[in-house]
Amino acid sequence: MKQTFKHRPELQIEAEFSGENPPVFRYRLSATKIGAGKTPKTVCAVMQNPSYACVEFADKSVQVLERVVFEKKYPEFEGVERLSKYGHPTLIAR
């Protein structure tokens, strides 16, 4: 049984999946702060582990990234308004 996690609040989530039905890969999952500018400062993360996160819910690794980038107040992430997570070509966890 897999645990589901909510995305952090105040984020707009977008996802891009492969074209199969059902999709085999999630290529991109982006979390953008609501109210972000047209060209938001972005952090890019390449994740290798299989993930079941989507627009509706996160998994543990996605939720941790969202917390670190948007909530922990690390100076490296000051002013960041978008987190784009790209998947290494691994299968979506089922």
pLDDT at 17: 83
- Judge whether residue 86 has pLDDT over 90: no
Considering the entire predicted model, what is its pTM?
Answer: 0.83
User: Would you say how long the chain is, in residues?
Assistant: 94
Beta bridge partners of 65: none
pLDDT in tens, 69-83: 999 999 999 999 999
- CA angle (70, 30, 27) in 5-degree steps: 140
Beta bridge partners of 85: 29, 45
The pair of three-digit structure tokens given for residue 83, joined into one six-digit string: 């987190």
